[in-house]
Structure 1
Amino acid sequence: MSARDAGCRDGDVEWFFDVVSPFAYLQLEQLAACLDPGRVRCHPVVLGVLLEHWGTRGPAEVPRKRVQTYRSALARSQATGVPLRFPPAHPFNPLPLLRLAVAAQARFDAVRQILRFVWRDGGDASDPQQWQSLARQLGLPDAAERVGSEAVKSGLRGSTAGALARGVFGVPTLVVRGEYFWGEDATEMALRTLAQGTAWLHADEWARALDLPVGVSRRA
Structure 2
Amino acid sequence: MTRPRMDFYFEFASTYSYLSALRLPSLAEAAGVDVRWRPFLLGPIFAVQGWNTSPFNIYAAKGRYMWRDVERRAARYGLDVIRPDPFPQNGLLAARVAQLALAQPRGIEFCQNVFLAEFGAGQDISDPDTIKACLASAGLPMTLLADAQNDTNKHALRTTTDTAARLGIFGAPSFIVGDELFWGDDRMHDALDWATRHG
Instruction: For 1:160-179, list aligned pairs within 5 A.
Output: 160-179=161-180
Q: Which amino acid aligns with 2:63?
A: R
Q: Displacement of 1:116 after TM fit?
A: 2.4
Q: Which amino acid aligns with 2:117?
A: F
Deviating above 6 A after TM superposition, structure 1's stretches of 4 or more consecutive aligned residues are: none
Q: Which amino acid aligns with 2:40?
A: V
Aligned pair count reads: 190
Q: Displacement of 1:78 after TM fit?
A: 1.8
1:23 and 2:16 equivalent?
Answer: yes
Secondary structure, counterpart of 1:34 in structure 2 = helix
Does the CA contact (< 8 Å) of 1:41 and 1:108 recur in 2? no
Secondary structure, counterpart of 2:36 in structure 1 = strand
Does the CA contact (< 8 Å) of 1:124 and 1:131 recur in 2? no
Q: Which amino acid aligns with 1:95?
A: L
Q: 1:14 aligns with which of 3, 7, 10?
A: 7
Secondary structure, counterpart of 1:171 in structure 2 = coil
Structure 2 distance, partners of 1:38, 1:115, is: 22
Unmatched runs of 5 consecutive residues or more in structure 1: 1-9, 199-220
Q: Which residue of 1 aligns with 2:94?
A: 97
Q: Displacement of 1:100 after TM fit?
A: 1.4
Q: Which residue of 2 aligns with 1:209?
A: none
Instruction: For 1:64-103, list aligned pairs within 5 A.
Output: 64-103=61-100
Q: Residue 197 and residue 126 in structure 1: after superposition, are their counterparts in 2 closer, same or farther (change >3 A)?
A: closer
1:53 and 2:53 equivalent?
Answer: no
- Greater displacement, 169-178 / 124-133: 124-133
C-alpha distance after superposition, 1:164-203 (max 9, x if no partner): 12211111001124321001111222132233449xxxxx
Q: Which amino acid aligns with 1:79?
A: R
Q: Residue 71 and residue 190 in structure 1: after superposition, are their counterparts in 2 closer, same or farther (change >3 A)?
A: same
Does the CA contact (< 8 Å) of 1:16 and 1:174 recur in 2? yes
Q: Which amino acid aligns with 2:41?
A: V
Tell me the TM-score normalised to structure 2 length: 0.82
Does the CA contact (< 8 Å) of 1:60 and 1:69 recur in 2? no
Structure 1 distance, partners of 2:50, 2:127, is: 32
Structure 2 distance, partners of 1:194, 1:81, is: 26
Structure 1 distance, partners of 2:194, 2:126, is: 39
Q: Residue 86 and residue 41 in structure 1: after superposition, are their counterparts in 2 closer, same or farther (change >3 A)?
A: same
Q: Which residue of 1 aligns with 2:119?
A: 119
Q: Residue 136 and residue 167 in structure 1: after superposition, are their counterparts in 2 closer, same or farther (change >3 A)?
A: same
Instruction: For 1:32-47, list aligned pairs within 5 A.
Output: 32-36=25-29, 39-47=34-42
- Greater displacement, 131-140 / 92-101: 131-140
Structure 2 distance, partners of 1:103, 1:43, is: 11
Instruction: For 1:170-209, list aligned pairs within 5 A.
Output: 170-197=171-198
Q: Displacement of 1:127 after TM fit?
A: 4.2
Tell me the TM-score normalised to structure 1 length: 0.75
Does the CA contact (< 8 Å) of 1:15 and 1:43 recur in 2? yes
